[in-house]
Amino acid sequence: MAWILVVDDNVQILEICVSCLVDAGKGYDIASAYNGRHALKWMEKETFDLVLTDFQMPEMKGDELSIVIKEKYPAVPVIIMTGTKPPEAHKADKILKKPFKSADLLDLVKELLRD
């Protein structure tokens, strides 16, 4: 069973991603955060197997979050969801272009979790 953190300031997208992961039937445990700082607070308390984050968020964008995660938790894979091309400075393991299908998200999650 994998512990996945989903990060997005848009509640609708956050709920869609969580539903997609729950509906996959893989028994994923899901936590959600509404911004990068909230995500990092979660990560101080819990050990996640994967982080799925939006790119366009206020305060801390997904690329910035991916850099911090990789510095503090280098083994945790990160997927950035974006409708635009993220800057080259990101540390994400995979980029998921929006709009995406549930199958695309699940394929990336399975690949990174080796599930």
Task: Report, as an integer, the average pLDDT of 56-62.
Answer: 92
- pLDDT tens string 24-38: 988 999 999 999 999
Torsion, Cα of 60, 93, 75, 48 (10° steps): 60
- pLDDT tens string 64-93: 999 999 999 999 999 999 988 766 767 899
Q: Do 4 and 51 contact (CB within 8 A), yes or no? A: yes
- pLDDT tens string 88-99: 767 899 999 999
Task: Tell me what pLDDT residue 87 has.
Answer: 66
CA separation for the pair 115, 81 (Å, rounded)? 20
Q: Specify the CATH number of the domain 3-113.
A: 3.40.50.2300
